[in-house]
Amino acid sequence: MARSRILRPTRHNRDAERLIALATALSASGSRVEDRFWERQIEAVLAKLLRSGQDNALEIALDHLLVANANAYEVLIELCETQSESIVMEMDGQRYEVLLVVAPLAAWTRYQIPAGKIRPDALEALQAQLHGHVLAPNVRLALAPALLAIDQMPRTFSATQQWLLRLGAQALDKPTTQKFSLPDAEDVPGMLADTRYLVGAIAVPEGEAMFRWQESLDASHSRAQCLEQWARQSEPTFAALLPGCGLEILLPDAWYVANRDADRRVRPLAIRAAITWLETALDTTPDQLRAVVAGCGEQQIDEYRIGFTQRNSNDVVYGCVWPLFGREGADDPVDETEQGTPLDTVDQIVDLLRSNGITEIRRLPGLLPPDFCEDCGAPYFPDPTGEMVHAEMPEDAEFTPPQFH
């Protein structure tokens, strides 16, 4: 699951051209009846592409529409998400609606945030708490037995659908040769603030409620009430799985909406955790640090990168990425009188830095390339001179976040 869209110049193929034409027609539709006419045709193309793992055509169409037709982009990406996170399955003559869901939580620490398998007793507790506070009574549920990091999650629509199919079959006890297997946790980077995900599939007889808030419009069944009860009951279990971490438990929901919510929530936490850790690692105070903020992307601002230096040096010692999602920030003007960045997002970042004690903040003008290190894959961050560089802690610093014991 990509954190931001990177535009890739490439030739259209036949499927991409058809998706562009169909999405453009759907965005111009004047009635719900016509909507369904175009949607059925798009769904047929998507079903073929997802089944065969041909995500390239989808990405080409989305990249084109993101620039050429914002409304068509929105309708196409919504259908891509719907097709890859939900499906109808049959079992014993009964049709079931199956939905891929995620229960995210944001975590922050001075140590390394764990990721890995969940003990059977903890998994049973989380399953019971989901049934008790989030899911409707007739829901069947299958959970992946691990707390997953973003690097372990699917990054394409077709890979997401494969998780849906395998966990959905497990929820329905449906015989299948394609079992869900846990992604490798060895390459999960040690982050100071990050998201962890409890992933599952839920299935109900077609037409029935999936979530508790669908059962009644009463306030006792609202999303807010479900979140409050879920967070309160699941917090001890998650705290035991993530020792030494602060936690913000978010509402379990459909795959894409819950992931976007989690990604947005972790952005300010990453900055706060970075500043707190740098205080310890460098034996300094926030007012002795400098932050450099730059918009990065190929043709538009896709993300912000924040480079941290000590005030007496231009060497970047650490960095944070503030990604943008979908069309977030895409329509903001680049105002050269204000250092070339969308004012609302940058002001939010600057206010956050100031509230955490950093007083020297530089905003770089224009658009910088989203470069990465060719050797280790780490993102480059801006230094005060406007160069994108590798973040390097001083040799005498305690630069590796330890594992909590």
What's the pLDDT tens digit per position in 73-116? 999 999 999 999 999 999 999 999 999 999 999 988 877 788 78
Within 10 angstroms of residue 241's Cβ, the number of other Cβ atoms is 24
3-state secondary structure 215-226: CCCCHHHCHHHH
pLDDT score at 323: 87
**Per-residue model confidence as pLDDT tens digits over 170-198:** 999 988 777 778 777 666 666 778 889 99
Instruction: Judge whether residue 345 has pLDDT over 60.
Output: yes
What is the span of the domain harbouring residue 102? 92-258
Q: Examine residue 322 and state whether it is found in any structural domain, yes or no.
A: yes
pLDDT score at 111: 72
The amino acid at residue 395 is: E
**Per-residue model confidence as pLDDT tens digits over 278-288:** 998 899 999 99
pLDDT score at 173: 93
Last residue of a domain, one of 24, 55, 84: 84
166 and 60 within one domain: no
Out of 131-135, 139-143, 331-335, 378-382, which region has the weakest mean confidence (pLDDT)? Answer: 331-335
Domain count for the chain: 3
Q: Are 43 and 79 in contact (CB under 8 A)?
A: yes
The helix (run of H) or strand (run of E) holding residue 160 is helix 157-171
Q: Examine residue 310 and state whether it is found in any structural domain, yes or no.
A: yes
359 and 210 within one domain: no
211 and 111 within one domain: yes
Q: Examine residue 400 and state whether it is found in any structural domain, yes or no.
A: no
247 and 163 within one domain: yes
Q: Which residues of 356-391 are buried (b: 16+ CB within 10 A; e: fewer)?
A: bebeebbbbbebbebeeeeeeeebbbbbbeebbbeb
pLDDT score at 397: 67
Last residue of a domain, one of 243, 258, 273: 258
**Per-residue model confidence as pLDDT tens digits over 26-41:** 999 999 999 999 999 9
150 and 248 within one domain: yes
244 and 188 within one domain: yes
- Pairing state between β 116-117 and 303-310: unpaired
45 and 168 within one domain: no
